[in-house]
Structure 1
Amino acid sequence: MTKPSQAYLDKLQQILTDCNYTIRYERGTFQSGWCLLEQKRIVVLNKFLDVEGRINTLSEIIPQVQVDFDKLTLESQKLYTEIMNKQTSLAF
């Protein structure tokens, strides 16, 4: 994984935004630091997470959501493929 930075976080957020998900940072008692409202296409993250925590959380969420690969920009497609490959390699 690349070094945790705001730029990398923005790229992860862009994947979800390209797929019409709304990302909100809210206060709450989320056990995992996030909540996914699939029907409304909203991802709610704990606003107290630092940049690295947000990156880890979005990396965990992205494989679980419905992504239309064709809607992604070329850069987002590369990052999405990288995330999915990493997810697959962790499963074995």
Structure 2
Amino acid sequence: MTVRYTKNFLDKLENLFASSEYILRYEKGNFKSGYCILKENKIVIINKYYTLDGKINTLIDIIKKIGFNVNDFSDKKIQDLISELQQTELKL
């Protein structure tokens, strides 16, 4: 899959998190993006000052690390997106 660095593609990634058990938040600060689990809540925190490319690359990397199960989602479009993202290699 080719990664498209557009606002529309970022929205698709954000919708994926909205459909999952993870909460996606954009926060300011000097930190590396990643995901963390706080008090049994699964929260993904992204630096809000990242560029569009940086946000997309970070979200794809997190999706791969979390290892979403395609069968946990009922929406076919989200299932297809997860399958494609898990096979995507980012070249920076």
TM over 0.5: yes
Give the 5 Å matches for 1:79-90: 79-87=81-89
Counterpart position of 1:35:
34
Give the 5 Å matches for 1:69-80: 69-72=70-73, 73-80=75-82
Cα contact 1:22–1:42 (8 A) shared by 2: yes
Counterpart position of 1:21:
22
Give deviations 1:48-78, integer Å, cap 9, x for gaps.
0121111111011001115242342211111
Query: Does structure 1 residue 9 correspond to structure 2 residue 17?
Result: no
Unaligned stretches of 5+ residues in structure 1 = none
Give deviations 1:5-39, integer Å, cap 9, x for gaps.
11100111111221121111111221x3x131234
Q: 2:30 and 2:3 mapped to 1: Cα distance?
A: 29
Query: Which stretches of structure 1, 4 residues or longer, exceed 3 Å deviation after superposition?
Result: none
Corresponding residue pairs, total: 86
> Which one-letter code corresponds to 1:51 in the other structure?
L
Q: 1:52 and 1:83 mapped to 2: Cα distance?
A: 15
Unaligned stretches of 5+ residues in structure 2 = none
Q: Percent identity?
A: 28
Q: 2:44 and 2:7 mapped to 1: Cα distance?
A: 18
